[in-house]
């Protein structure tokens, strides 16, 4: 019955578009983002807009500005406006669940992208296996420490405690490195996923750990902040960095050698596939409960393949 109702709803909306002949009547997919500062979220938005344009629907973007309450308000506003579907990248997947449940109760399918909003209340998840990729980074670091430092190293982490996504990346990483008794965690600092705070947090981490060997950065602001801190303290010859999400700063660090590896996500594909899934649900089609988008580990050996992302 629900499949039939959804198919009828989609048909009705398409007929409304044809009858009205104006942009206002086009179905709208809401896209609730964590922020519009990071390149990642802008690429995700572009992917979502591309899928929507191909399907003849509109996208309404809500900038959460790193604030869970603002995201909740955004979802509630989209429900009031009768959005056809909602795609949400949640700062706090638990805190937003009630708003997502209300959207589903109103017959609006919700796709969680990048961060899992438990299924239900979201209908499906599209994104990266964040914990698994964090563990992969940790295993790579353990191997590197064994090969170059005799199995002993001091590591610092620049995270974002308000981001479940980045906490999963941190926890997966810690699961892997804690299997090596010679690796010591020198400290974990909070960037709050904000560029300026990431730099200050990384500076404090380095100042408190004069013998730090590695920094693991769980997101784009954290990685850029870690790179800037290592450079400003003149420690590019002693501290190596592993992090998430490419930037011009990360590419420079990879070329110079003090950035060891960057986990690169396909944000565009995450946004694209999330909207595709949402529109399938509207038509009454089945979608997988989870769709994982593969990551790529970028190192000095393959960084040339990614410079085009930054206009080079």
Q: Is residue 24 over pLDDT 80?
A: no
Band (312; pLDDT cuts 50, 70, 90): low
What per-residue confidence (pLDDT) applies to 255? 97
Q: Using the predicted structure, report yes or no on whether residue 1 has a pLDDT greater than 90.
A: no
Q: What are the φ/ψ torsions at residue 3 (nearest 5 degrees)? A: -60, -45
Consecutive H or E run containing 49: helix 39-55
What local confidence, expressed as pLDDT, does residue 223 receive?
98
Question: What are the chain's domains?
Answer: 2-127+267-293 (3.40.50.2300), 130-264 (3.40.50.2300)
Six-digit token string for 201: 């947090």
Average pLDDT over residues 252-265: 97
Q: Please report the pLDDT score of residue 308 as a whole number.
A: 86
Span 150-157, mean pLDDT? 98
Range 176-200 average pLDDT: 96
How much is the pLDDT for 14?
47
Give 232-247 pLDDT, tens digit per residue. Answer: 999 999 999 999 999 9
Residue 148 has pLDDT above 50, yes or no: yes
91 to 20, 63, 86, 310: CA distances (angstroms):
37, 11, 15, 26
pLDDT for the residue 23: 42
Would you state the pLDDT for residue 289?
94
311 band by pLDDT with thresholds 50, 70 and 90: low
Tell me: pLDDT of 140 over 70.
yes
d(CA 84, CA 82): 6
Where do runs of H (alpha helix) occur along 106-247? 130-148, 164-177, 195-208, 220-232
- Residue 218's pLDDT is what? 98
Q: How crowded is the C-beta side of 235, counted as CA atoms within 13 Å?
A: 23
In this prediction, residue 77 has a pLDDT band, given cuts at 50, 70 and 90, of very high
Distance set, CA 3 to CA 29, 133, 168, 262, 273 (Å): 19, 35, 34, 42, 20
Q: Please state the rounded mean pLDDT for residues 84-97.
A: 95
More confident residue, 22 or 210: 210
Q: Confidence class of residue 7 from pLDDT cuts 50, 70 and 90?
A: low
């Amino acid at each position: 019955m629900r499949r039939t109702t959804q198919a009828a709803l989609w048909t009705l909306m398409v007929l409304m578009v044809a009858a009205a002949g104006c942009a206002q009547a086009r179905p709208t997919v809401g896209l609730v983002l964590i922020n519009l500062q990071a390149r990642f979220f802008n690429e995700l938005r572009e992917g979502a807009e591309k899928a929507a344009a191909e399907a003849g629907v509109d996208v309404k973007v809500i900038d959460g500005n790193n604030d869970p309450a603002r995201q909740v308000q955004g979802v509630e506003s989209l429900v009031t406006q009768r959005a056809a579907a909602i795609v949400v990248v949640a700062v706090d997947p638990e805190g937003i669940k009630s708003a997502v449940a209300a959207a589903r109760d109103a017959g609006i399918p919700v796709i969680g992208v990048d961060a899992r909003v438990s299924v239900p209340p979201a209908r499906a998840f599209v994104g990266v296996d964040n914990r698994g990729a964090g563990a992969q980074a940790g295993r790579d670091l353990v191997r590197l420490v064994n090969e170059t430092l005799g199995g002993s190293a001091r590591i610092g982490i620049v995270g974002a405690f308000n981001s479940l996504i980045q906490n999963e990346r941190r926890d997966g990483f810690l699961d892997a490195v804690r299997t090596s008794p010679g690796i010591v965690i020198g400290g974990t600092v909070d960037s709050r996923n904000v560029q300026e705070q990431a730099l200050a947090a990384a500076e404090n981490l380095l100042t408190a750990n004069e013998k730090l060997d590695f920094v693991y950065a769980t997101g784009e602001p954290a990685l850029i902040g870690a790179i800037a801190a290592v450079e400003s303290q003149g420690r590019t010859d002693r501290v190596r960095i592993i992090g998430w999400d490419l930037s011009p700063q990360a590419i420079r660090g990879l070329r110079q050698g003090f950035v060891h590896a960057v986990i690169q996500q396909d944000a565009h594909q995450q946004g694209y596939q999330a909207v595709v899934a949402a529109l399938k649900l509207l038509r009454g089609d089945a979608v997988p409960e989870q769709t994982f988008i593969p990551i790529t580990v970028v190192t000095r050996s393959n960084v040339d393949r990614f410079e085009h992302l930054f206009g080079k």
